[in-house]
Amino acid sequence: MLDINFIRENLSKIKENIKRRGEKYNSLIVDSLLQIDKEWRELKGKVDLLRHGRNEITLQITKLSKEKKDISKLIEKAKALPQEIKNSEEKLEELKKKINSILMNLPNLLHDSVPYGKDDAENKVVKSFGKKPKFKFNLLSHVDLIEKNKWVDLDRASKISGARWYFLKGELALLEQALVRYGIDFMTKKKFTLVIPPHMINRKAYEGVTDLEAFGEMLYKIEGEDLHMIATSEHPITAMYMGEVLDAKELPIKIVGYSTNFRKEAGAHGKDMKGIFRVHQFNKVEQLIFCKPEHSWKLHEELAKNSIEFFKTLGLYFRQVNVCTGDIGIVAAKKYDLEVWYPVQDAFREVVSCSNCTSYQAVRLGIKYNEDGENNYIHTLNSTLIATSRALVAILENYQQKDGSVVVPKVLRKYMNGIKIIGKFDNKNNRKKK
RNA sequence: GCCGAUGUCGCCUAAUUUGGUUGGGCAAUAGUCUCGAAAACUAUAUCUGAAAAGAUCUACAGGUUCAAAUCCUGUCAUCGGCGCCA
């Protein structure tokens, strides 16, 4: 959400930004926003005046009653006030709601370096890393690999839970845990603090971090409770500081979040139906930073660098893209995606999303920092380090061997008790010798 | 889950019985003063307003009332007891 004061002072900038984002948004909405805001402020003045009148008269009543004088006339006069005030307050509230709903849908100001483009096809490749792998045999899809090796049981999961749910089994489940532990170690070595958040949060917190109306179809709601399953650890961890004023000395706060994530994937009918590429539940290690505005652009690059470095160590072929205006969404001011090469799908697919949200989330959540007696909104940043289901698919596709086994990336072996290869043929060199 | 108590500024606390528009202590930060420090003094949240000023804030949301920290209802949280449980 943008700060209304900021909009008032930077009208042309805001409109330009909306135009740059294309047809999805209409810059005229800003004019009507300011018009309603003006009405609101005028009415606020009137309501405050009415309230002042009430305060005055009750003060007099208090005074007179202490002097034991007759107050019946004053009370008679005062009786009309509450209704009058209430009527105006209701109008005021209505206007405020209108203002808020417009503000909620206004997109963040984009950074100058965000490329113009209609959709994800026009994201700009920044750089590629690693080498495109070559194979001298016919590749199996990850769906075939998990089936042959009995690493995932989709049938039984569908029996008890439904489509897009899965049992992760045996060596692949170990590999999943290895990825998580490696990811967490990787970040804590960089002085990020590990945080494991609640996996369910209430409505108020969720409204702070995302547009519940739009995201409603992504989130699982607990029946009869004011609770939603989290779609990413970013949500509870960002909402954690809701309504707080942080000390500038504590900033930047660097957190590595870990949680299981739950997503309905309601809008994805038919997409990626097979295997575990797109599922209702997966684990994710996430980087988060809360910082002063003047540091956020440098830290954004740092987050991207961390994720790049991490994927390099996994030995995958991938590229960094600068997400274009048509694909970036309303929250981020700039977003890098990392896309890994999936040889079977013959495509790059998104595995990391690294955003500088500037003050957009902070305004909505009311997170400020205090420096020299002055309060200002902080900046929030987040970046995937690793999301397990997609990373597992990437490893399966890229590290598979002719016999259907899969080589474990070197950096993960120490988290796998030294196992070098997982797969149906038990390799004698595969176990760590004691 | 049941029963009971409690919730006041960053922390502590008084005012709740009997509704009258808050008060005190400590700490922190900034400023004034100072060669420097200590002490002392001033300031400290949010909203509207050019300003003067005004409005709002006693866990949260409602209600009663001219007026609510105080009375009523609901919710949440904390503590204690019982129950259940990895």
Residues of A with catalytic function: 263, 278, 350, 353, 390
For nucleotide B67, the protein residue with its alpha carbon nearest to C1' is: A58
The CA distance from A261 to A204, in Å, is 19
Query: What's phi and psi for A218, nearest 5 deg?
Result: -100, -25
Nucleotide closest in space to A374 (CA vs C1'): B30
Cβ within 7 Å of nucleic strand B, residues: A 4-5, 41, 44-45, 47-49, 51-52, 54-55, 57-59, 61-62, 65-66, 75, 78-79, 81-82, 368, 372-373, 375
CATH topology of domain A120-430: BirA Bifunctional Protein; domain 2 (3.30.930)
Strand B contact nucleotides, protein CB < 7 Å: 20-21, 29-30, 45-49, 54-56, 65-67
Q: CA–C1' span, A262 to B29, in Å?
A: 43
Nucleotide closest in space to A75 (CA vs C1'): B66
CA-closest candidate to residue A400, choices A39, A140, A183, A96:
A140
For nucleotide B49, the protein residue with its alpha carbon nearest to C1' is: A45
pLDDT at A426: 55
pLDDT at A246: 85
Where do the structural domains in chain A lie, given as residue ranges? 4-105, 120-430
Q: CA–C1' span, A248 to B14, in Å?
A: 34
Q: Using alpha carbons, list the distances in angstroms from residue A345 to A142, A249, A341.
A: 10, 48, 8
Series of mean pLDDT values for 10-residue runs along chain A (434 residues) = 90 90 82 94 92 89 80 80 88 91 90 93 95 93 92 93 92 96 97 94 84 76 86 92 84 94 81 88 96 94 97 96 93 96 94 95 88 84 96 95 93 94 66 41
Q: Which residues pair with A312 in a beta bridge?
A: none
CATH topology of domain A4-105: Helix Hairpins (1.10.287)
Q: CA–C1' span, A103 to B39, in Å?
A: 50
Q: Which residues pair with A338 in a beta bridge?
A: A320, A352
ipTM: 0.85
Q: Is the peptide bond before A107 cis (omega within 30 degrees of 0)?
A: no
pLDDT at A26: 83
pLDDT at A432: 42
Contact between residue A274 and residue A158 where contact means Cβ atoms under 8 Å apart: no
- What is the crossing angle of helices A28-66 and A11-20, to 10°? 140
Q: CA–C1' span, A66 to B18, in Å?
A: 15
For nucleotide B19, the protein residue with its alpha carbon nearest to C1' is: A62
The CA distance from A263 to A390, in Å, is 14
Nucleotide closest in space to A79 (CA vs C1'): B66
Long-range CB pairs of A347-350, under 8 A, 24+ apart, other chains included: A348/A318, A348/A319, A349/A277, A349/A390
pLDDT at A433: 39
